[in-house]
Structure 1
Amino acid sequence: MLLAETLLLKALAIPLLAWIAWFDFTTQKIANRNVLLLLGLGAGSLLLLSLQAGSWWDMGLCAMAGLLLFVALFPFWALGKIGAGDVKLMAVVPFLIGGHDLILFSVLLLVFALGTAVVVKIPFMLPQGAFRLYVQYLDRKGVVPFGVPISLAAICTILFGIYETLVVATSSGILDQLN
């Protein structure tokens, strides 16, 4: 039964991540309350998985990854190259996705970050309209809303994890036992 609650907590994080991406794109800010909500959802999900598995390895791995990301990105914030909300969001993401999906998240983050940088730096590739004007404004301002690719990569990783869990649960008969 803990599996269903874990999946529910992960699913609840998806709209919050979408909200963070939109809010960061429009205002270049990530609210602390949203990051704390994500931390609560992620830590709760990991706690349930740890209780089910009887091992705290994944929880410890995620805590170490979050701390490492925070420490590694903090100097970039101090130099003004990245926002404080982006640093905090990156530190919380390992709790959301779990230790086993960190590589997938890293690859997706690289792809989405490169895509975001290309769109912001070369806005003439976009169709005419308000979106293009706003992206040109971001380019003139010298800002890249990094919360957007972080959120997109986290959403895709969470969806993949949910799909993978459901496939394993279906093939092993766990879902049949719940009914």
Structure 2
Amino acid sequence: MKKLIFIGGTMGVGKSTVANKLNQALENSIYLDGDWCWYMHPWQFNEENKQMVLRNIQYLLQSYIDNSNFKHIIFCWVMDEQETIDLILRQLNLANVEFVSISLMANEETLRKNIEKDVTRGLRDENMIVESINRIIKYTKVDSIKIDTSNNTIQETVNQIKTSLK
């Protein structure tokens, strides 16, 4: 049976790094990042673009679900509300697919440190620190397996996810 694995978490928690390493650790897998559908310039968050991004994500996910070459479809994105996850899933044909939702969590100190590294490298803006910390609480309300990455290596987090997939 195929597995559709959603990995959510606030900015700076390590979603992309973990999803990439998980993709390397699983056989017949594909890794998709929801942010790829938002790489527009200038960045414009509005209802029209939001709906387009959701349709594009649904199309990509369904294409990989339908492809017999893939056993694991790993999708990471912020997904801080259950409604977002439900909207994506609602348009997918999940017959013979096991869905697993994972929320990566971290304490404030870890998030601050991670985002500060990204700010230094020019990847993030400093105001994202407060925004990310403020979103932590939202993940407690998402129906998902919670994994605290604060004291984990990337490999330890990947191993925890792999264990939850069995």
State if a TM-score over 0.5 links the two structures.
no
- Return the structure number with greater helix share: 1
Scaled by the length of structure 2, the TM-score of the pair is 0.31
Scaled by the length of structure 1, the TM-score of the pair is 0.30
Query: Which protein, 1 or 2, shows the higher relative CO under an 8 Å CA cutoff with sep ≥ 6?
Result: 2
Select the structure of larger CA radius of gyration: 1
